[in-house]
Amino acid sequence: MSRPPYPPAPRQDTSDVLHGHRVTDPYRWLEDRQADDTEKWLAAQDRLFHETVDALPGRDRLRARLGELLGAGSVGSPVWRGDRRFFTRRTAEQEHPVLYTVDPDGDGTERALVDPMAIDPDGTTTLDGWQPDREGRRLAYKVSHGGDEESLLYVIDVATGKRVDGPIDRVRESSVAWLPGGEAFFYVRRLPVSAVPEGEEQHHRRVYLHQVGAAPDSEDVLIFGAGRDKTNYYGVGVSRDGRWLTISSSQGTAPRNDLWIADLSASSPERPELRAVQEGVDAETGLHVGRDGRAYVFTDRDAPRSRLCVTDPADPGYETWRDLIPEDPEAVLTDFALLDDVLLAGWTRHAISEITVHDPATGERLGTVPTPGLGTIGGIIERPEGGHEAWFGYTDHTTPSAVLRYDSRTGETTPWAAAPGTVEVPRIDTRQVVYTSADGTEVRMLVASRPGDSGPRPAILYGYGGFNIPLTPAYSASILTWVEAGGVYAIANLRGGSEEGEEWHRAGMRERKQNVFDDFHAAAEKLIADGLTAADRLTISGGSNGGLLVGAALTQRPGLYRAVICSAPLLDMVRYERFGLGQTWNDEYGTAGDPAEFEWLLSYSPYHHVREGIAYPATLFTLFDSDTRVDPLHARKMCAALQHATASDRPILLRNEAEVGHAARSVSRSVDLMVDTLSFSAAQTGLDLRSASHPTAAPFDT
């Protein structure tokens, strides 16, 4: 693959003086998506991309194998309301997961409640969230169209499947908390544009009480949020008995929140008398009132790896909290579930999940829940009215999503629901490697490869490193296909994630963001030092915040990497707050409005560190035109800058996809994206996809 002729992109004399620095921005004109020049440039980039990538070898085989592996489908854990259960499943023939229910008095037949493809046969509608009421009679669900994530909220009657309410718009981040009876619920909604003060970003949110069937713009009752910061996110919950209302508030994605509780039996849902549980404290805390009447407080306050406390919901001040499950020095507490006779606690230990069993009164550890292997456990689900059973999702690198059932009376874990498809999964070896970063910090990395292979091989190194998000083992058609063909796939658990708790997160945010990039460079050096790959056979990959990661990596250490897959990235860190949801992330990154924080951002902002005459790695930007979270302008500007500056003949390409947003997409669109990114990586690193087969495949029969 040789350097292609790049579309013209005029460099304009645009700059700003910020805190005494002149910051140049020659491609600011590409911020305007609707401009004719931008449209022409994108069309030329699209032609260049297809001319370069569509003819790469092995794509047909790659597409077929990805389709086979994705044929496993997926299944979600059940949510119970009495004897009625709700769950999602996607078969090999379905583009999106479908929400089903099983009626309690029927013959066990499943009924589809929400099918995104029935709503929109084009496949651009996604199911964003759902919540049944306490009785299981009504269901609130959210959908978005064309990838914009601007969710619409509807309510249906579960027995008939007919809509009884909605749409309610502007509910992207809404959580729904039903009151008993299913006639009303609390939810979160953004203000309409007309109500947002002029010149401010449109991220003002409020908590409302909605009566089913009422007109939301005129009849909903404002419960909370007036006069508070415009970037606040809110969460709302109601105890099963309907007595206790909880409201949490965090500024943007800050790793801290305020928390209030109200006794609705002593006030009213329309005018709840909120009492602070935590306010102005640098910690994340949630509160759940259990069936036993106790308040269970899940918190990282004075416990960076989190702990579970109990208190009286009528007197929930910090001084009354009593440790039930204290902080573990090595594992991060992630979840809990209360059964009739035991308390279950979910943990992540160095990115691997486990569940422990405890006495519900004292917290004493009684044992562990058996799990199939070293993988990832989804949320632990119990029946709201109690019982001896719990359900949880499970996956690892070779196990498609499955649901397991734990019985506290026997201590046994048994399969409950498997992924609906039958696929041949290749045998791969996965090991956890410990390596040392630039400042001496030990970092872990999962490395997958084909059994028996040795010597430097084409490799993909993936990372994220931000927003307290962990990277844990999961079934992935792209990883399996790459490894099956003879490649190495590595996932680095960088600082900025939550694999080692909140301190690990904070070690990779704000002024310490360079730690994340150093961890990533060190991961690449470890793979090379161990003889698994070489610099000219290594692709790095990341999306969103991970796109920022690989953008910084390619500008800081261009000689360390052969190719880069940079997806839906943040790259202009001087102006990121002006677009998409950027304003809500300044606690994670810092704000360019503050002189000191501006210095942090400018020190690594990838767009501002592109230098002429450098031989940059081959780079493929993948962006999604309807992305309302991370504006595609970042990738457009960075692509133009690299195409202008690079001294290498390695291609710099841009893949632009319409009617797709930041996250969810249909299976067929996902396959198209994986074919393009994997074939690009293979061509650059020397992986021969044409002759790849899976002679060591093992049956995975569900």
Selected catalytic residue, list 151, 248, 401, 544: 544
Residues in the chain, overall count: 702
For residue 634, indicate whether it is catalytic: no
Residue 42 corresponds to which tokens in the numbers above? 């994108």
One-letter amino acid for residue 455 of the chain: G
CA atoms within 13 A on the CB side of 134: 17
One-letter amino acid for residue 436 of the chain: T
Contact indicator for 356, 401 with CB cutoff of 8 Å: no
The 10 Å Cβ neighbour count of residue 431 is 10
DSSP-derived 3-state class of residue 328: coil
Return the sign of the alpha-carbon dihedral for residues 519, 521, 522, 526.
positive
Q: How far is CA 228 from the centre of its chain?
A: 27
Cβ-based burial of 517 (10 A; exposed 0-12, middle 13-18, buried ≥19): buried
For residue 144, indicate whether it is catalytic: no
- Residues near 273 by beta carbon (within 8 Å), at least 6 away in sequence: 262, 263, 266, 267
CA-nearest of 213, 164, 206 to 186 is 206
Selected catalytic residue, list 145, 505, 608, 662: 662
Cis ω before 458 (30° cut-off from 0): no
Sheet with 152-157, edge to edge strand ranges: 125-132, 138-145, 152-157, 163-168
CA-nearest of 284, 291, 285 to 316 is 285
The Cα–Cα gap between 261 and 281 comes to: 16
CA angle 439, 374, 417 (to 5 degrees): 140
What is the 8-class DSSP label of residue 583? G
Return the sign of the alpha-carbon dihedral for residues 560, 562, 567, 572.
positive
Residue 191 corresponds to which tokens in the numbers above? 């203000």
The Cα–Cα gap between 269 and 245 comes to: 8
DSSP-derived 3-state class of residue 129: strand
- Residues near 15 by beta carbon (within 8 Å), at least 6 away in sequence: 22, 23, 24, 25
Hey, which residues are catalytic here?
Answer: 544, 662
